[in-house]
């Protein structure tokens, strides 16, 4: 039976006068007389905090004597540990330089390593069912002529068989001779249903991935050498819930494999500012909140902030902006908000907080209150030792770069690498470049690469066009990336369009342009849509309207006669589009809609002139519409860390959901 908390307050207020926040929580919770254990957690925690502090006073004198005796021993241990750490750092630096040298050698002899990579893949997996129709004439020289280009649809039946029956029922193996470990989710945001990517225990693939990932780390450390004492990373990563296939294989995000499989190294976990249960939680918003809370607790030790994609950091800073007062309350009390209901996560966070942090809480309050609704540069004002922010800002993520740069202020935003769920593609050797000039060096040992010529203004990019190899690409031209991997994909179209901008030694340097159209019927690309929205936003600002578009997407309704293009644009909360200005705002937007259409590509204009595409329809959506889309995608299995808001919608379910949030509909009549 716990002692009456009100009596504790009376007895200890004189001893701990600065703990007013804790007393208020005890009194408030006691008055509710709630029998709910979760609701009682703040009450219990506050009581325990007070009891712990009294206990500290009582035994403090005894501990002082012990401290004096042990101080010399601890000092000696500390010196030994420092020496060991110096040796470890030296060994790591030597290893990283060795990896950089390997990348140099691979790129200088890119053509040779590409042929060796393909030869290795074919020798290793020559017995798989997928290759049997071509195997009698299959070698390095005939591979591109004998094996057709493929898409995910060509692998669905094989993947479903593995998911339902496992490998033991298939002789020969379906896609790879290596043991199947699990499945990874792809993002799948355009269709609301993520793809399953088989992950085989391939030693060859692991060796290639090791070079890619360690090479990326080595490049980062060249720009930002590790610092003792300031070595924590606020990493917004979410391991997500694991699902299981019919025969027992786990399905998870590729980015969370090391956490979910228990293969994360202790050194890796020690770098994170959040404890393990925050990554393994089940509710993304609560995980994001706890990441922020732990990042604030380690205010002076944060060296960097990271997340896979820019949109994830924009969401995190938005949560900080809206919840900073609650975060400060939690720091002051020493436990997370009552909203965080995951027991394991709560326990881990309470340990990480290490009790009430009154001084730290007050310091953060002063910084946040001083913003006056201007959160520009908040990253550096809070985490004053931070050196960089890292995430992918290319492709569709460029939309979020200005907002992220606003929050980052003078903190540099470092570009990410080009890694797909299927394989590593390229690494960013010049990480300080802005997203519009970020380029990736293709890694010749990561997979066998081909490049399918792509032209955005042609009515079709026919798959009958021949691919070119890594050595034959032309600077200035765009291509769709085709890969043959160690893990069961053969001449597989990744669906990414890149532009070749140069060569690093003998390996191409590419810029990520966009996701490729899925079919020949598509008349609008991601790049077209982004350009059109930029035109439209400029026209709206020119009309002196305060309307900020925060998210957008398009859908081509091919069932209409003629076909109809629908564009969805979500506006910011503070926009002029309020009820009292609705009619006036609608009239202004009608005059601006032509600027939206003028940004579409040549293919759209040709189809429109032929009468095959009808009037453009623009749906203005209420704030939060795309957040609902995010929630549905997460429920359907899309990994939170890998979520990318769709730009080209191909699913009627998404259209129906977004139309529910429309409060103005405009067309170009």
Model confidence pLDDT, tens digit, residues 397-451: 999 999 999 999 999 999 999 998 899 999 999 999 988 889 999 999 999 999 9
pLDDT on residue 192: 60
Of residues 412, 416, 421, the one with CA closest to residue 395: 416
pLDDT band at 111 (very low <50, low <70, confident <90, very high): very high
pLDDT on residue 55: 42
pLDDT on residue 57: 33
**CA-to-CA separations, 612 to 455, 523, 541, 619, in angstroms, rounded:** 21, 11, 32, 21
Write the DSSP symbol of residue 397.
G
pLDDT on residue 333: 94
E strand residue ranges, 540-629: 549-557, 564-571, 617-621
Of residues 234, 238, 228, 236, the one with CA closest to residue 273: 234
More confident residue, 390 or 7: 390
The backbone region for 640, taken as left when phi is positive above 0, alpha when psi lies in -120 to 50, beta otherwise, is alpha
Which of 141-145, 394-398, 449-453 tops mean pLDDT? 449-453
Which of 244-248, 300-304, 614-618 tops mean pLDDT? 300-304
Number of Cβ atoms within 10 Å of the Cβ of 121: 25
pLDDT on residue 259: 72
pLDDT on residue 262: 67
**CA-to-CA separations, 533 to 487, 515, 543, 562, 654, in angstroms, rounded:** 39, 17, 15, 23, 20
pLDDT on residue 630: 87
In the chain, the percentage of residues whose pLDDT exceeds 90 is 46
Average pLDDT, the chain: 82
Name every residue whose Cβ is closer than 8 Å to that of residue 437 and which is 6 or more positions away in sequence: 511
205-225 average pLDDT score? 92
Q: Could you identify the residue written with the tokens 């969401």?
A: 315
- pLDDT tens by residue, 326-378: 999 999 999 999 899 899 999 999 999 999 999 999 999 999 998 777 899 99
pLDDT on residue 462: 52
Q: How far is the C-alpha of 385 from the C-alpha of 352, rounded, in Å? A: 20
pLDDT on residue 247: 85
CATH fold for the domain made of 110-203+419-515: Rossmann fold (3.40.50)
Dihedral over alpha carbons 609, 615, 619, 620 (to 10 degrees): 80
Q: How far is the C-alpha of 179 from the C-alpha of 88, rounded, in Å? A: 34
pLDDT on residue 621: 92
Residue 58 has pLDDT above 80, yes or no: no
190-194 average pLDDT score? 64
- pLDDT tens by residue, 76-104: 544 444 454 555 666 777 888 899 999 99
226-241 average pLDDT score? 88
Of 293-302, 488-497, 558-567, 584-593, the range with the lowest mean pLDDT is 584-593
251-279 average pLDDT score? 79
Residue 65 has pLDDT above 80, yes or no: no
pLDDT on residue 379: 96
Residue 507 has pLDDT above 90, yes or no: yes
19-28 average pLDDT score? 50
**CA-to-CA separations, 359 to 167, 297, 348, in angstroms, rounded:** 58, 11, 22
* Residues 591, 573, 286: CA angle, nearest 5 degrees: 140
Q: How far is the C-alpha of 392 from the C-alpha of 416, rounded, in Å? A: 5
Of 56-60, 107-111, 463-467, the range with the lowest mean pLDDT is 56-60
pLDDT on residue 43: 43
572-585 average pLDDT score? 69
Query: Which tokens go with 516?
Result: 């490729």
Q: How far is the C-alpha of 335 from the C-alpha of 117, rounded, in Å? A: 52
Chain-centroid distance, C-alpha 556 = 27
pLDDT band at 664 (very low <50, low <70, confident <90, very high): confident
Is it true that the peptide bond before 172 is cis, omega within 30 degrees of 0? yes
pLDDT band at 566 (very low <50, low <70, confident <90, very high): very high
Query: Which tokens go with 514?
Result: 């966009």
pLDDT band at 191 (very low <50, low <70, confident <90, very high): low
pLDDT band at 41 (very low <50, low <70, confident <90, very high): very low
């Amino acid at each position: 039976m716990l002692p009456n908390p009100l009596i504790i307050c009376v007895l200890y207020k004189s001893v701990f006068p600065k703990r007013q926040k804790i007393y208020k929580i005890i009194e408030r919770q006691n008055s509710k007389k709630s029998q709910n254990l979760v609701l009682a957690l703040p009450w219990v925690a506050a009581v325990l905090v007070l009891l712990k502090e009294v206990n500290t006073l009582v035994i403090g004198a005894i501990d002082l004597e012990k401290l004096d005796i042990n101080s010399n021993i601890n000092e000696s241990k500390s010196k030994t540990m420092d020496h060991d750490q110096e040796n470890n750092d030296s060994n790591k630096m030597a290893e990283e330089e060795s990896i950089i040298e390997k990348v140099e050698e691979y790129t200088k002899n890119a053509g040779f390593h590409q042929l060796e990579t393909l030869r290795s893949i074919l020798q290793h997996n020559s017995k798989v069912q997928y290759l049997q129709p071509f195997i009698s004439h299959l070698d390095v020289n005939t591979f591109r002529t004998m094996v057709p280009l493929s898409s995910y649809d060509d692998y669905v039946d094989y993947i479903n068989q593995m998911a339902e029956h496992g490998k033991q029922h298939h002789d020969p193996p379906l896609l790879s001779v290596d043991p199947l470990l699990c499945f990874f989710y792809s993002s799948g945001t355009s269709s609301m249903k993520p793809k399953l990517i088989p992950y085989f225990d391939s030693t060859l693939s692991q060796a290639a991935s090791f070079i890619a990932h360690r090479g990326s780390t080595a490049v980062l450390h060249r720009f930002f050498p590790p610092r003792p004492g300031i070595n924590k990373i606020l990493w917004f990563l979410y391991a997500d819930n694991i699902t299981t296939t019919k025969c027992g294989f786990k399905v998870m995000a590729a980015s969370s494999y090391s956490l979910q499989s228990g293969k994360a190294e202790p050194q890796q976990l020690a770098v994170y500012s959040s404890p393990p249960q925050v990554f393994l939680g089940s509710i993304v918003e609560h995980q994001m909140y706890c990441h922020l809370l732990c990042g604030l607790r380690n205010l002076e030790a944060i060296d960097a902030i990271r997340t896979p994609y820019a949109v994830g950091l924009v969401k995190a800073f938005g949560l900080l902006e809206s919840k900073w007062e609650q975060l400060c309350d939690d720091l002051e009390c020493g436990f997370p908000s009552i909203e965080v209901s995951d027991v394991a996560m709560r326990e881990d966070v309470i340990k990480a907080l290490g009790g009430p942090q009154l001084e730290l809480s007050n310091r953060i309050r002063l910084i946040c209150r001083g913003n006056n609704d201007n959160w520009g540069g908040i990253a550096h004002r809070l985490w004053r030792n931070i050196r960089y922010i890292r995430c992918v800002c290319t492709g569709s993520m460029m939309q979020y770069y200005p907002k992220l740069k606003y929050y980052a202020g003078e903190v540099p935003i470092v570009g990410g690498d080009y890694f797909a769920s299927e394989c590593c593609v390229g690494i960013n050797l010049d990480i300080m470049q802005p997203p519009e000039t970020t380029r990736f060096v293709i890694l010749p040992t990561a997979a066998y690469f081909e490049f399918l010529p792509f032209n955005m203004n042609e009515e079709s990019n026919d798959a009958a066009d021949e691919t070119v190899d890594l050595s034959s690409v032309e600077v200035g031209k765009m291509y769709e990336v085709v890969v043959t991997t160690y893990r069961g994909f053969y001449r597989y179209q990744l669906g990414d369009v890149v532009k070749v901008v140069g060569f690093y030694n003998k390996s191409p340097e590419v810029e990520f342009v966009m996701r490729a159209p899925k079919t020949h019927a598509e008349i609008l690309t991601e790049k077209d849509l982004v350009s059109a929205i930029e035109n439209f936003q400029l026209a709206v600002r020119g009309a002196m309207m305060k309307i900020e578009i925060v998210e957008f997407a398009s859908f081509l309704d091919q069932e209409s006669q003629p076909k109809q293009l629908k564009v969805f644009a979500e506006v910011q909360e503070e926009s002029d589009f309020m009820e009292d200005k609705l009619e006036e705002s609608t009239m202004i937007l009608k005059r601006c809609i032509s600027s939206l259409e003028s940004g579409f590509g040549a293919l759209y204009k040709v189809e429109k002139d032929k009468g095959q595409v009808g009037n453009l329809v623009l749906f203005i959506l209420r704030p939060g519409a795309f957040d609902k889309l995010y929630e549905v995608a997460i429920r359907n299995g899309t990994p939170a860390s890998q979520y990318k808001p769709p730009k080209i919608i191909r699913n009627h379910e998404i259209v129906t959901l977004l139309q529910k949030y429309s409060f103005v509909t405009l067309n170009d009549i």
